Structure 1
Amino acid sequence: MKKNSIIVILSIIGLMLPFVSHADANEIPPQGSKLLSAIIKTAEGQHHGSIFEAEFEDGLWEVKICDTSVCQKLYLDPQTGKEVRQRKTDCDEIPPAGSMPISKIIQSVEAQGLGIITGFEFDDGFWEVKLRKDGRKVKLIIDPMTGESTALSMKKRTLSDDQMQRATSHLSQSQDVNRNNEPNIRR
């Protein structure tokens, strides 16, 4: 009886594994994607307001932006940067006036080669930039006024060989970013 229970449990776990790895694959922009800094810079130019969050989910960049009265979630194609759709959303905390543009901060993180950026958000007065590097989730805490990193946290997370290959390819693209006039991100 115990053997049958163990076999059933292991079978269920085995059936769930493809869904878990598929979910992880959807958290990383595909090979050939535009750099997030370029996508965000375009969104900053096309929409009036403050970008306060972005996350790569279900194959698209979900970017939240607020002006004085309306907040929207833009769904952007990672390979072209073009808007696929948008919808109204609630506004969270936005960066203070005089903050560095988030596109410059993201460009600096990309240039540092710290990992693949999977999202960012403005929370408790700081930018939290989420990355994947060497099978780990990494989070940078960045001052919005200076662009300097104040903290770093890591969680181990195993990625499949395919995901690691995509990550390595994406990182090599991000290291080609122009490194002039960028904020100082300390490790």
Structure 2
Amino acid sequence: MKKTTIAWILGAASVAASLPFAAQAYNAQEVLNSITASGLVAPQDLEKQYGYWTAKATQQDGNRAYVLVSDADGSLLAIRKAELGTTYPGASQVAAKLQALGYGQIKEVEFDDGFWEAKVRGANGIKQKLVLHPVSLDVLSQPGLPAPNPGAGAGSAILSAAQIHQLLTQAGYTHIHDLELDDGIWEADAINAQGFRVDLRIHPETGVVLREKLDD
């Protein structure tokens, strides 16, 4: 699947801002407008995952930043890697948080695309790869799956292609194609309700769209 790069240049200043409308699910254009209005330049790699829109952009001083925009309330956060461990939590704090939650064998704690990731073993002995919010350190999910807990058990049956197609249609997606089950996750290309071509990753058991990425 292809990834798009979107470059915009506008002005203003601030690394923390909110979208200027009521809380709702935001579309890609609204998020881009908010990012550029906050003073960030040339956002790229825009995608939606774990309840946030993420992108990379350049700050006015020339430093690159990871941008997270909440899809729930529009709040915006811009983080530079140099700020991790000082202004924002670092790897040691991530490991401590996971230990406090009951996870063991915590390995490969890394900051990637605006989120902390770590490989752990849950109380049930199952190995997991977790994604955490960069500031609150809330466990958002395993990549591709809903937020787990250390003792979580097996899930339900995987939905069929026809069921996934129906759920995507009900969610407002059209021109759904290249639908396939890849490593236990449904993937598809489609056009969203705002008319953008997108790559989708879909929960195999619930049909919930886990990630929406703009496509070329």
* Same-fold status (TM-score > 0.5): no
**Structure with greater contact order relative to length (CA < 8 Å, sep ≥ 6):** 1
TM-score, length of structure 1 as denominator length: 0.33
Higher share in helix: 1
Higher share in strand: 2
TM-score, length of structure 2 as denominator length: 0.29
